[in-house]
């Protein structure tokens, strides 16, 4: 499983966001690897109409419908046809009570919750809140090209062990610094079930090639687990 965070990159805004989603869908269909995208709010609906891969919001607010000008309502995300939402990305961090409330709102509206966590302790703490997916992303590696799976493999291995003691079912992704297929392989080898990537794909010179490399690495990882 690969999730591509479009952030607010110009290369993944508006019409370019739709085109990138289509490239990703093509590779996903050909390789049969699940790849989701997390575009900006304004681009979600055009993407859910254009492709059939999972689409995630980058954030929702812990609110009910009503007087909340400028905030992001779970129902509005759901109605676009999106599959779920990122929560507590290191660029959009939340109070713990808001993470808890947002996971519950997402669950009520049948949206998949992906909570981002900066370190081992926060991964364990958020795992107790029962999100569907956790993405472990040390912020000091984001955008560096140094993959978490290489820089700190033992940290991820240990975090996964601790998270599993608390929560048997949560899917665990790892992120930050992933730019090559071998980074994806390394992440899978140490126990992650997928990756959360952004600039590695969005800012790649040849997006198609990198998407395919990531998908092939994911497929190979899966095969090696099964054998």
CA distance 122 to 211: 29
Nearest approach, Cβ of 133 to its own copies (angstroms)? 15
Q: Can you tell me which of 102, 126, 149, 207 binds its own copies, judged by CB under 8 A?
A: 126
Instruction: Evaluate whether 3 touches 216 at the Cβ level (below 8 Å).
Output: no
Shortest Å distance, C-beta 127 to its own copies: 8
Whichever of 66 and 154 has its CB closer to its own copies, that residue is 66
The least distance separating its own copies from the CB of residue 73, rounded to whole angstroms, comes to 4
Distance in angstroms (rounded) separating the CA atoms of residues 146 and 176: 8
Task: Give the residue with the Cβ less far from its own copies, 27 or 196.
Answer: 196
7 scored as a contact of its own copies (CB under 8 A): yes
14 scored as a contact of its own copies (CB under 8 A): yes
Active site residue 213: no
**Per annotation, catalytic residue among 19, 30, 59, 89:** 89
- The distance of closest approach from Cβ of residue 22 to its own copies in the complex, given in angstroms and rounded to an integer, is 17
Q: Does 128 bind its own copies (CB under 8 A)?
A: yes
State the minimum distance, in angstroms, from the CB of residue 69 to its own copies.
4
Our finding on whether 161 is near its own copies (CB under 8 A) is: no
The residue to which tokens 């364990």 are assigned: 124
- Measured from the CB atom, the residue of 174 and 217 that comes closer to its own copies is 174
- Report the relative pairing of strands 194-197 and 171-175 from DSSP bridges: parallel
The length of the chain in residues reads: 227
CB 127, CB 167: distance < 8 Å: yes
Size, binding site for its own copies by CB under 8 A: 61
Single out the residue of 15, 154, 205, 223 in contact with its own copies (rule: CB under 8 A). Answer: 15
Residue 40: other Cβ atoms inside 10 A: 17
Catalytic residue flag (residue 79): no
Contact status, residue 218 vs residue 188, Cβ threshold 8 Å: yes
Residue of 29, 30, 52, 79 that binds its own copies (CB under 8 A): 79
- The residue within the footprint of its own copies, chosen from 23, 41, 144, 180 (CB under 8 A), is 41
Contact 101, 74 (CB under 8 A): no
The rounded distance, in Å, linking the Cα atoms of 218 and 4 is 14
| Opening angle at CA 214, ends 211 and 219, nearest 5 | 125
Catalytic residue, from 25, 59, 137, 213: name it. 137
Helix (H/G/I), strand (E/B), else coil: 4: strand
Looking at the annotation, which residues are catalytic?
Answer: 89, 137
């Amino acid at each position: 499983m690969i999730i591509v965070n479009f952030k607010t990159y110009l290369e993944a805004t508006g019409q370019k966001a739709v085109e990138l989603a289509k490239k990703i869908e093509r590779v996903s269909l050909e390789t049969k690897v699940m790849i989701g995208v997390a575009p900006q709010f304004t681009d979600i609906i055009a993407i859910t109409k254009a492709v059939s891969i999972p689409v995630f919001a980058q954030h929702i607010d812990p609110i009910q419908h009503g007087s909340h000008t400028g905030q992001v309502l779970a129902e509005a995300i759901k109605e676009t046809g999106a599959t779920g939402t990122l929560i507590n990305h290191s660029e959009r961090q939340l109070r713990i009570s808001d993470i808890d409330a947002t996971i519950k709102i997402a669950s009520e509206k049948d949206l998949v919750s992906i909570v981002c966590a900066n370190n081992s302790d926060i991964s364990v703490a958020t795992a107790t809140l029962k999100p569907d997916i956790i993405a472990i992303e040390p912020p000091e590696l984001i955008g560096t090209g140094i993959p978490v799976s290489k820089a700190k493999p033992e940290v991820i291995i240990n975090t996964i062990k601790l998270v599993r003691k608390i929560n048997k079912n949560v899917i665990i992704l790892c992120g930050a610094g992933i730019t090559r297929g071998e980074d994806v392989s390394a992440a899978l080898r140490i126990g992650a079930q997928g990756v959360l990537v952004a600039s590695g794909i969005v800012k790649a010179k040849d997006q198609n090639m990198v998407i395919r490399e990531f998908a092939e690495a994911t497929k190979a990882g899966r095969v090696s687990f099964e054998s």
